[in-house]
Structures are given as structure tokens and as C-alpha cells.
């Protein structure tokens, strides 16, 4: 779940290096707090569900 959430944020943010550095600088905190800083959302299945929906219903 976390990988999908990070991937979605990197796609929104644009540049992988800039986004990764921003996320990595936050430090040792709880996963939920880290994810809120990284993607502005707590850890959730939302990005995984959106990716699943997109794969099952490709745009025409």
C-alpha cells in the first residue's frame, strides 16, 4: 500500500529526486505521520484501489 501511495505522490509531484528527498528528510516518525508528510494523506488503500480500477477499466 505504501509503495502505491508514494508512487502516486511522485507522479503528482513531477520529479522523482526532488520528491524522494522531500519525503526522506522527514526522519524517524510513525508510518502514518510520515505518509501524511509525504503524500498529505494517512496510509490508505486508496492509491492501490485507484490503480486497480484503472487497470480494470482502461480509458478508451
pLDDT digits (tens, 9 = 90+) for 11-36: 887 788 888 888 888 778 888 898 89
- Count of CA atoms in the C-beta half-sphere (13 A) of 35: 18
Q: Identify the domain containing residue 16 by its residue range.
A: 2-56
Counting the structural domains of the chain, the total is 1
CA dist 55 and 53 (Å) reads: 5
Local confidence band at 56 (pLDDT 50, 70, 90 cut-offs) = very high
* Res. 53: pLDDT tops 90: yes
Cell numbers 528527498 correspond to 21
Q: Look at residue 25 and give its three-state secondary structure.
A: coil
Cβ distance 56 to 44 under 8 Å?
no
Predicted confidence (pLDDT) at residue 52 exceeds the cutoff of 70:
yes
Amino acid at each position: 500500500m505504501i509503495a502505491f501511495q508514494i508512487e502516486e505522490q511522485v507522479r503528482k509531484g513531477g520529479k522523482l529526486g526532488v520528491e524522494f528527498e522531500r519525503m526522506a528528510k522527514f526522519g524517524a516518525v510513525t508510518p502514518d505521520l510520515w505518509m501524511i508528510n509525504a503524500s498529505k494523506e494517512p496510509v490508505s488503500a486508496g492509491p492501490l484501489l485507484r490503480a486497480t480500477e484503472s487497470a480494470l477499466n482502461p480509458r478508451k
